[in-house]
């Protein structure tokens, strides 16, 4: 079992739709969690950190469920520009600096 698992998709949604991705992690002692966005043939860029209390940034909401060991990303009112691969990142226990990336979930927003 991989340490961080994501459904690769693609998720194909129309503009304006709400879409959610989950990411599961295997190490229950993991401390910090992030979502990165990666456009085709570009480098990953931080989208948002995921806090225990959940956090929201405009149309994006991230949540952490420690009991079930998953994090989620919700995108409301999808835009064409949201089309990208969304990477889940988990840092290890004890503030470990080694991030583990999921393989990413591909989102395609169509007109």
Partner 1 sequence: GAGVSQSPRYKVAKRGQDVALRCDPISGHVSLFWYQQALGQGPEFLTYFQNEAQLDKSGLPSDRFFAERPEGSVSTLKIQRTQQEDSAVYLCASSSPGMRGQETQYFGPGTRLLVL
Residues that bind partner 1 (CB under 8 A): 4, 6, 8, 31-32, 42-46, 49, 87, 91-92, 95-104
Query: Closest approach of Cβ 44 to partner 1, in Å?
Result: 5
Q: How far is the CB of 111 from partner 1 (least distance, A)?
A: 26
Least distance in angstroms from the C-beta of 100 to partner 1: 7
| 4 within 8 A of 25, measured Cβ to Cβ | yes
Nearer residue to partner 1 within complex by CB, 75 or 89? 89
**Closest distance of CB 67 from partner 1, Å:** 21
Q: Nearer to partner 1 by C-beta: 18 or 49?
A: 49
Take residue 43 and report the two structure tokens written for it.
């480098």
How many distinct helices (H) and strands (E) make up the chain? 0, 11
Tell me the two tokens of residue 78. Answer: 């999808």
Q: How far apart (Å, rounded) are the C-alpha atoms in residues 12 and 21? A: 12
Which token pair is 103?
A: 């393989």
CB nearer to partner 1: pick between 26 and 49:
49
Cβ-based neighbours of 55, under 8 Å, separated by 6 or more: 48, 49, 61, 62
Of 22 and 76, CB closest to partner 1: 22
In the numeric block, the tokens 């959610």 are attached to 20
């Amino acid at each position: 079992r991989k340490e961080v698992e994501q459904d690769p998709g693609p998720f194909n949604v129309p503009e304006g739709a709400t879409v959610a991705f989950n990411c599961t992690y295997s190490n229950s002692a993991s401390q910090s969690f992030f979502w990165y966005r990666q456009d085709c043939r570009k480098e990953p860029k931080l989208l948002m950190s995921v806090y225990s209390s959940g956090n929201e940034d405009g149309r994006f909401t991230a949540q952490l469920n420690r009991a079930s060991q998953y994090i989620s990303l919700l995108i409301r009112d999808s835009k064409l520009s949201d089309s990208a691969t969304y990477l889940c990142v988990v840092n290890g226990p004890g503030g470990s600096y080694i991030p583990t990336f999921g393989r990413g979930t591909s989102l395609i927003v169509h007109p």
